[in-house]
Amino acid sequence: MSQPSKQPLVEFAAVDFGYDTRLILGNVSFRVMPGQVVAVMGASGGGKTTVLRLIGGQVRARAGSVRFDGQDVGAMSHAEIYAARRRMGMLFQMGALFTDQTVFDNVAFALREHTRLPESMIRDLVLMKLNAVGLRGARDLYPAQLSGGMARRVALARAIALDPALVMYDEPFAGLDPISLGISARLIRTLNDALGLTSIVVSHDVDETFAIADQVFILGNGTLIAEGPPAALRASADPLVHQFVRGEPDGPVGFHYPAPPLQADFLGGRGTSA
Ligand SMILES: Nc1ncnc2c1ncn2[C@@H]1O[C@H](COP(=O)(O)OP(=O)(O)OP(=O)(O)O)[C@@H](O)[C@H]1O
């Protein structure tokens, strides 16, 4: 019997990336092993979505390498990137469903677009995916007839329709009520394990994400400031990690954007040289 692969499914090695002259990520290295659920967290604007875009080949690293299943994404041709993306499911917060199509047709879309499977097989695959997210019975509904949590689950079924190796979630819990949020988080873990996926979740929800992740990467100040299993990060004495995990307003990451002293803007500017 062959041994399970020990090669990372995703690997960042000393990655630098910036838009224009501004560096967004500097010297970022991490690995995602097959079967893991990993979380990419950190302050807003810290480059979390950019990490997903680098993996999907929408943008390329300036230095270092981004590998997907051993292949350097930055060196792929368009055809290779297209083929690699077929092995990646993406679920974005605003990954709107097609409003004029039923739940069934939304999930069937990628199968019809990317495969030549007969409709009878597509039907079975779609219903299996819908069953996995608990919505087999909702197949004939239109998106307008779904709750926010249900719509998110349909989007999840759509993201896994092609049996991807990797599923990337960008803010999958945004806008959900606490119950739907908990259900969605557990579903990500359950599907990951039941279907043999690997999952990367970008999220701000510390509790829900820590509850399902094997490994957490925290981005801050343009680089990876911490990584480890959730329990280790919760126990971390590092002030940055501590502030992030507890959601505290005061700490190494300031609440205020740099500004002149208060008295310069109020009290008629008294006490300033301005
Ligand atoms: N196409 C673009 N051109 C120029 N700058 C961009 C572009 N896309 C993103 N940025 C900038 O890159 C930085 C990182 O953006 P990114 O979306 O990766 O952050 P994020 O950590 O996902 O943020 P959030 O949690 O707020 O979604 C931000 O400062 C953003 O303004």
Atom 10 (ligand 1) nearest CA: 19
Query: Which residue puts its alpha carbon closest to atom 7 of ligand 1?
Result: 19
Mean pLDDT of 166-194: 89
Mean of the per-residue pLDDT values for the chain?
88
**Predicted confidence band at 253 (pLDDT cuts at 50, 70, 90)?**
low
Nearest CA to ligand 1 atom 3: 19
Q: Which atom of ligand 1 is nearest to the CA of 171?
A: 27
Class of domain 10-249: alpha beta
CB of 48 closer than 6 A to ligand 1?
A: yes
The pLDDT tens digits of the residues spanning 65-74 come to 999 999 999 9
User: Which residue in this structure is represented by tokens 């005061």?
Assistant: 250
User: Does residue 144 have a pLDDT over 70?
Assistant: yes
Tell how far the Cα of 208 is from the centroid of ligand 1, in angstroms: 23
b/e burial code for range 166-188 (CB count within 10 A of at least 16 → b):
bbbbbbbbeebeeebbbbbbebb
pTM: 0.86
pLDDT of residue 264: 76
Mean pLDDT on 2-28: 86
Pocket test for ligand 1, best of 24, 171, 218, 221 (most atoms within 8 A of CB): 24
45 C-alpha to center of ligand 1: Å?
5
Q: Which residue has the tokens 């829900």?
A: 208
Q: Out of 1-5, 10-14, 49-53, 218-222, which region has the weakest mean confidence (pLDDT)?
A: 1-5
Is residue 203 pLDDT above 70, yes or no? yes
38 pLDDT above the threshold of 50: yes
pLDDT of residue 184: 87
* Structure tokens that stand for 32 in this block: 């995602």
CB contact set of 159 (below 8 Å; sequence gap of 6+):
89, 90, 91, 95, 167, 169
pLDDT digits (tens, 9 = 90+) for 61-105: 999 999 999 999 999 999 999 999 989 998 876 557 999 999 999
CB distance 50 to ligand 1 below 6 Å: yes
